[in-house]
């Protein structure tokens, strides 16, 4: 039975939302935004999948339901790119933006199965630039204080909506990781932090993954850390770094993309590099063997990918 947590806590040693005592692997969902696209929604906007919170909330529920039905035990909310400036483009203010972020939690919760968790997505600042900066760490004019102010409204809205855990994801650089850990200590709420990586040892900025994992792993409110939206061929070595660096009681969280690359200029996926579901699952065996215990998929992975993971790992998941 997966433990659930809906309120801020002070003692995370005994309040771990990702705890899964009766299974070896906790299955996360797959590429939510790209599944939304496959269902027919145009999300080429600075809000990306978060635009559906306004345009078609029923489609968000369907996408979550598809991943839960495939075997996922954790849904990551449609708030990855839900930032104030994007809502301002549509004529909305701070309160309305916060309400839509809260709605992202409510929509996932409505279709969650018994024991299912809802992770509030906190995408990188770079995602808000809508130019692929979450894969470079190039944040002109931003320092730690500015990054904290950028992330605080969305994080507060997700907590107020009672998500189970925060998913700070696709983080490309040490400065953003540092800002997030400072903010997590402020709000005192559990989170995982996952990095986008450009190689078997470096985050996308070129900094060491080991340094990034050591930083976030030292935060008492980070219950897990790892890698997301990264080529799956890099993940085995990255998992080894994570497991060797994290305290033993913290989770290694991995949910790579299909292997395709996103072009921030053309807003298109480069074709011809995607791993099949079978290849993805075969690689996942190695990730788990090396210490990953929370596994799913990111961009261009589908409910079918998650179903194969569930079918292969069976009761272990």
What are the residue boundaries of the structural domains of the chain, listed by start? 26-260+271-316
Q: Report how far residue 147's alpha carbon sits from residue 181's, in angstroms, rounded to the nearest whole number.
A: 11
Residue 121 phi, psi (nearest 5): -75, 125
Strand ranges (E), 28-85 = 74-76
For the segment 227-238, the average pLDDT, to the nearest whole number, is 97
Q: Report how far residue 18's alpha carbon sits from residue 29's, in angstroms, rounded to the nearest whole number.
A: 14
Query: Comparing 19-33, 39-53, 139-153, which segment has the lowest mean pLDDT?
Result: 39-53
Contact yes or no for 167/120 (Cβ under 8 A): yes
pTM of the model: 0.91
Q: Report how far residue 221's alpha carbon sits from residue 199's, in angstroms, rounded to the nearest whole number.
A: 27
Q: Report how far residue 153's alpha carbon sits from residue 246's, in angstroms, rounded to the nearest whole number.
A: 28
For the domain covering 26-260+271-316, report its CATH number.
Answer: 3.20.20.330
For the segment 4-28, the average pLDDT, to the nearest whole number, is 64
Q: Is 38 a residue whose pLDDT tops 80?
A: yes
Contact yes or no for 291/248 (Cβ under 8 A): no
Grouping H, G, I as helix, E, B as strand and the rest as coil, residue 241 is helix
Task: Using DSSP bridges, classify how beta strands 261-263 and 268-270 pair: parallel, antiparallel or unpaired.
Answer: antiparallel
Q: Report how far residue 196's alpha carbon sits from residue 213's, in angstroms, rounded to the nearest whole number.
A: 12
Q: Report how far residue 190's alpha carbon sits from residue 16's, in angstroms, rounded to the nearest whole number.
A: 8
Q: Is 167 a residue whose pLDDT tops 70?
A: yes
Interval 244-287: pLDDT, tens: 999 999 999 999 999 866 555 555 555 545 679 999 999 999 99
């Amino acid at each position: 039975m997966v433990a659930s947590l809906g309120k801020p806590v002070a003692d995370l040693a005994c309040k771990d939302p990702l705890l899964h005592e009766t299974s070896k692997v906790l299955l996360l969902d797959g590429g939510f935004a790209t599944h939304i696209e496959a269902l027919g929604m145009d999300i080429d906007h600075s809000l990306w999948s978060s635009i559906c919170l306004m345009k078609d909330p029923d489609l968000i529920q369907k996408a979550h339901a598809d991943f839960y039905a495939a075997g996922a035990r954790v849904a990551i909310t449609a708030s990855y790119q839900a930032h104030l400036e994007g809502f301002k483009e549509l004529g909305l203010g701070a309160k309305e933006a916060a309400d839509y972020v809260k709605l992202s939690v409510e929509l996932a919760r409505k279709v969650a199965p018994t024991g299912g968790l809802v992770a509030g997505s906190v995408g990188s600042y770079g995602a808000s630039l809508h130019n692929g900066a979450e894969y470079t760490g190039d944040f002109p004019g931003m320092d730690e204080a500015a990054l904290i102010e950028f992330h605080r409204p969305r994080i507060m809205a997700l907590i107020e909506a009672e998500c189970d855990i925060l998913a700070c994801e696709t983080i490309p650089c040490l400065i953003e990781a540092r800002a997030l850990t400072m903010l997590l200590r402020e709000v005192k709420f559990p989170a995982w932090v996952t990095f986008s990586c450009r190689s078997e040892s470096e985050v996308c900025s070129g900094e060491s993954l080991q340094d990034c994992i050591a930083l976030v792993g030292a935060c008492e409110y980070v219950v897990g850390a790892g890698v997301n939206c990264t080529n799956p061929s890099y993940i085995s070595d990255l998992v080894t770094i994570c497991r060797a660096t994290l305290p033993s009681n913290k989770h290694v969280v991995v949910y790579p993309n299909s292997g395709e690359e996103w072009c921030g200029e053309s807003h298109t996926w480069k074709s011809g590099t995607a791993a099949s579901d079978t290849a993805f699952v075969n690689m996942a065996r190695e990730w788990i063997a090396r210490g990953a215990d929370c596994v799913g998929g990111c961009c261009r992975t589908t409910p079918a990918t998650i179903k194969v993971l569930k079918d292969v790992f069976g009761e272990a998941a």
